[in-house]
Amino acid sequence: NAGVTQTPKFQVLKTGQSMTLQCAQDMNHEYMSWYRQDPGMGLRLIHYSVGAGITDQGEVPNGYNVSRSTTEDFPLRLLSAAPSQTSVYFCASSRGGRDGYTFGSGTRLTVV
Amino acid sequence: SQELEQSPQSLIVQEGKNLTINCTSSKTLYGLYWYKQKYGEGLIFLMMLQKGGEEKSHEKITAKLDEKKQQSSLHITASQPSHAGIYLCGADRTPTYKYIFGTGTRLKVLA
Are residues A105 and B42, on separate chains, in Cβ contact within 8 Å?
A: yes
CA distance, residue A69 to nearest chain B CA (Å): 19
Residue B92: φ, ψ to 5°: -95, 120
Give the total residue count for chain A: 112
Question: How confident is residue B1, by pLDDT bands cut at 50, 70 and 90?
Answer: low
Are residues A42 and B88, on separate chains, in Cβ contact within 8 Å?
A: yes
> What is the pLDDT tens value at each position of chain A, 112 positions in all?
679 999 999 999 999 999 999 999 999 999 999 999 998 778 999 999 999 999 999 999 999 999 999 999 999 999 999 999 999 999 999 998 778 899 999 999 999 9
Measured between CA atoms, the residue of chain A closest to residue B5 is A42
B102: Cβ contacts below 8 Å, ≥ 6 apart:
A42, B2, B4, B5, B6, B23, B88, B89, B90
Task: Of A103, A47, A37, give the one whose Cα is nearest residue B46.
Answer: A103
Task: Of A18, A104, A30, give the one whose Cα is nearest residue A64.
Answer: A18
Question: How confident is residue B106, by pLDDT bands cut at 50, 70 and 90?
Answer: very high
3-state secondary structure of A85: helix
Residue B88, strand partner residues? B35
Task: Of A45, A96, A66, give the one whose Cα is nearest residue B2.
Answer: A45
Measured between CA atoms, the residue of chain B closest to residue A108 is B40
Are residues A48 and B98, on separate chains, in Cβ contact within 8 Å?
A: yes
Are residues A102 and B45, on separate chains, in Cβ contact within 8 Å?
A: yes
Task: Of A48, A77, A84, give the one whose Cα is nearest residue B96.
Answer: A48
* B12 alpha-carbon distance from chain centroid: 16
Measured between CA atoms, the residue of chain A closest to residue B88 is A42
B66: Cβ contacts below 8 Å, ≥ 6 apart:
B52, B53, B72, B73
Q: pLDDT at position A56, please? A: 94
Pick from A35, A100, A106: CB nearest B48:
A100
CA distance, residue A15 to nearest chain B CA (Å): 25
Are residues A48 and B50, on separate chains, in Cβ contact within 8 Å?
A: no
Are residues A100 and B4, on separate chains, in Cβ contact within 8 Å?
A: no
Q: Is A40 exposed, middle or buried (0-12, 13-18, 19+ CB in 10 A)?
A: exposed
CA distance, residue A74 to nearest chain B CA (Å): 16
